[in-house]
Amino acid sequence: MRNDLDFATLYRSSVGFDRVFNLLNNTQRSSAVDTWPPYDILKAGEDSYVISMAVAGFGEDELSITNEGNVLLVTGAKAEHKDAQYLHRGIAARTFERRFELADHVSVEGAELKNGLLSIALKREVPEAAKPRRIPIGSAAENKAPIQIESERQAA
């Protein structure tokens, strides 16, 4: 059974949402879902969010957070103890890479590692130019001189 969505009707009636449709298509294509490390996404306010990841056993020097464009990439690589001999190994210490797609105008404010939880603070800051503004009706026509169209001369 296929659950593919057809975005053709949305393409016909929307402008500038190509990136959103591509994200939705890419999400449909990814079949393997990686659930490690577990994470929460919390809406902390009107324009602020927090991503919390359970990274027990990882130190600050073993974690990396990179923000490039609209992608937030969190990676972790645990240093191997070659001389250690484990009798039982139950704590997950595998290398991971977790990607988060950020909306436009969302930026990373900071990160903190405390009690095995990596918390990444995000804030949405819409610039003044992108905020909604009211357009007065008729003001453009009042400021410009009327355009006069000359008719073609008729041949005699």
Asked if 12 and 74 sit in the same domain, the reply is: no
Q: Tens-digit pLDDT profile for the chain (156 aa)? A: 455 666 666 665 666 666 666 666 666 555 455 678 899 999 988 889 999 999 988 889 999 999 988 889 999 998 777 787 888 878 777 889 998 888 888 889 999 999 989 999 999 887 777 778 888 888 555 555 555 566 555 555
Between CA 12 and CA 67 the distance in angstroms is 32
Between CA 93 and CA 96 the distance in angstroms is 9
| Domain boundaries, position 7 | 1-33
Asked if 48 and 26 sit in the same domain, the reply is: no
Burial of residue 22 (CB within 10 Å: 0-12, 13-18, 19+) is: exposed
Asked if 120 and 47 sit in the same domain, the reply is: yes
Asked if 103 and 52 sit in the same domain, the reply is: yes
Asked if 21 and 39 sit in the same domain, the reply is: no
Asked if 27 and 43 sit in the same domain, the reply is: no
Asked if 40 and 116 sit in the same domain, the reply is: yes
Asked if 25 and 96 sit in the same domain, the reply is: no
Asked if 121 and 70 sit in the same domain, the reply is: yes
Domains held by the chain: number: 2
Asked if 19 and 66 sit in the same domain, the reply is: no
Domain assignment of residue 139, yes or no? no
Asked if 59 and 101 sit in the same domain, the reply is: yes
Domain assignment of residue 135, yes or no? no
Residues 120 and 51: beta-carbon distance below 8 Å: yes
Residue 26 pLDDT: 63
